[in-house]
Amino acid sequence: MTTDRFKNTGSVILPVMLLAGASFWLLQSLTAPQQAAGPALSAATYDATIEAPELITIPPRTFEYRDPARYIENELPQISPLVHAKVQTPLNVAKNLVTNAQYRQCVLDAYCPPAITIKTPIDDHPVVGINYEMAEKYAAWLSAKTGENWRLPTALEWAQFAGEKYDDPEKDIQSDPTNPAVAWLSEYRAKSKSKSTTPSQSLRPAGLFGANSLGINDVAENVWVWTSTCYERINVDATNSQSKAISCGARVVEGAHRTYLSVFISNPQGGGCTVGDPPDHLGIRLVKGGDKPDFFSFLRRLWPFGSSIKA
């Protein structure tokens, strides 16, 4: 295992974001690791009046992408490997975030719970105050209504359509194996730097932040989106043998920076122990079609260390 691939780091964001709900999601993941997706879609059957969202097709492309799994090697936290991704199939992505007006139809259908927000939702604003389960339910509902396969993107797919808006979450992180504070401080400073250039939390009508170079609106602005990618920790010991723990009680959330959130969180807050930089708002971006690519088989293909990875 080459050392320049793996730099030592401590993770700030991870403990930070998970602290609030750690006990809950741990419990959840232990008791129901493969929870089925919500109640039956009896209320949601095909309905020609429900319009499918406008689509943008992302052509096959090659990009750098940071593996969202957290790595520990010989008891030391590592910076996750940078993956050189070559995606050979096109991806259909909704041009806009799901709006309040769109989400409300699912609520009126008694299938989705209302978004958790104290402010009155404005029709053409992106829906926010959404936890993972709500996002999943909306995708299931829209699929039933349209007869198409709508789902949440994987973290990899998010990077694929984020284009130039994808910012390597760990590029400025320094580390020192004898001083974990070096990583904490550099991560804090890197995130604070980006904070000063991020837009305010005030929501704007969908599309108003404009499109990225691939034609997708409002990417990495003030609404973060849920991905279907589960939280994963990989331990590598001195003999190069691996063990991993996957918990789908927490998922990767993508936006101006990457974070990991417990699935029931709809309004993350900063402050307190949470010295990380939380998402401003949590919303939904959908992709269409295909089965979820098998992320792990994909990663195995890209894995720089070949056969050292066990399934």
Partner 1 sequence: MVTRRQTIFGALGTAAALTAVANLAPQALAADNIDEMPRKKVKLVPPPFVHEHEQVASGPPQVIQFEMTIQEKVWELDDEGTVTHAMTYDGTVPGPMMVVHEGDYVELTLINPETNELLHNIDFHASTGALGGGALTEVAPGEQVVLRFKATRPGTFVYHCAPGGSMIPWHVVSGMNGTIMVLPRDGLKDDKGNPLRYDQVFIIGEQDFYVPRDENGEYKTYETVSESFSDQIETMRGLIPTHVVFNGKKGALTGDNALKAKVGEKVLIVHSQANRDTRPHLIGGHGDYVWETGKFNNPPEKDLETWFIRGGSAGAAFYEFLQPGVYAYVNHNLIEAVELGATAHILVDGEWNDDLMKQVSAPGPITK
Q: Identify the residue among 7, 22, 149, 188 touching partner 1 (CB under 8 A).
A: 188
In this structure, what token pair is assigned to residue 119?
A: 């402010």
Stretch that binds partner 1, among 47-55, 138-146, 274-282, 300-308 (CB under 8 A): 274-282
Tell me which stretch binds partner 1 (CB under 8 A): 83-91, 139-147, 189-197, 209-217. Answer: 189-197
What are the CA-CA distances from residue 156 to residues 86, 89, 160, 284, 297 (Å)? 11, 13, 6, 16, 13
- DSSP-derived 3-state class of residue 163: helix
Say if residues 281 and 222 touch (Cβ distance below 8 Å). yes
Q: Which of 45, 193, 294, 308 binds partner 1 (CB under 8 A)?
A: 193
Of the ranges 33-41, 197-205, 213-221, 254-262, which one interacts with partner 1 (CB under 8 A)? 197-205
Q: What is the DSSP letter of 1?
A: -
Contact (CB, 8 A) for 286 and 139: yes
Interface residue with partner 1 among 3, 49, 238, 272 (CB under 8 A) is: 272
- Burial degree of 63 (CB within 10 A; 0-12, 13-18, 19+): middle
Should residue 103 be labelled a site residue for partner 1 when binding is judged by CB under 8 A? no
Closer Cβ to partner 1, 150 or 184, answer by number? 184
Specify the amino acid at residue 204.
R
Site residues for partner 1, 114-143, by CB under 8 A, read 118-120
- The DSSP annotation for 129-142 comes to S--HHHHHHHHHHH
Alpha carbons 2 and 142: distance in angstroms, whole number: 46
From CA 5, how far away is CA 213, in angstroms rounded? 29
Shortest Cβ 159–partner 1 spacing (Å) = 25
Q: What's at 58, amino acid-wise? A: I
Count the helices and strands in the chain (H runs, E runs): 7, 12
Q: How far is the CB of 19 from partner 1 (least distance, A)?
A: 10
Residue in 12, 6, 8 with CA at minimum distance from that of residue 258:
12
How many CB atoms neighbour CB 123 within 10 A?
11
Find the part of the chain contacting partner 1 (CB under 8 A) among 153-161, 252-260, 273-281, 300-308.
273-281
Among 1, 27, 110, 245, the residue binding partner 1 under the rule CB under 8 A is 245
**Which CB, 5 or 233, lies closer to partner 1?**
233
List, in sequence order, every residue forming a beta bridge with 245; answer none if it has no partner: 233
Query: Is residue 104 involved in binding partner 1 (CB under 8 A)?
Result: no
Per-residue contact string for residues 5-44; x = within reach of partner 1 by CB under 8 A: -------x-------x------------------------
Selected range binding partner 1 among 105-113, 126-134, 156-164, 183-191, rule: CB under 8 A: 183-191
Nearest to 35, CA basis, from 242, 192, 206, 247: 247
Give residues in contact with partner 1 (CB under 8 A): 12, 20, 72, 75-77, 118-120, 178-182, 184-185, 188-189, 191-193, 195-196, 200-202, 233, 235, 243, 245, 269-275, 277, 280
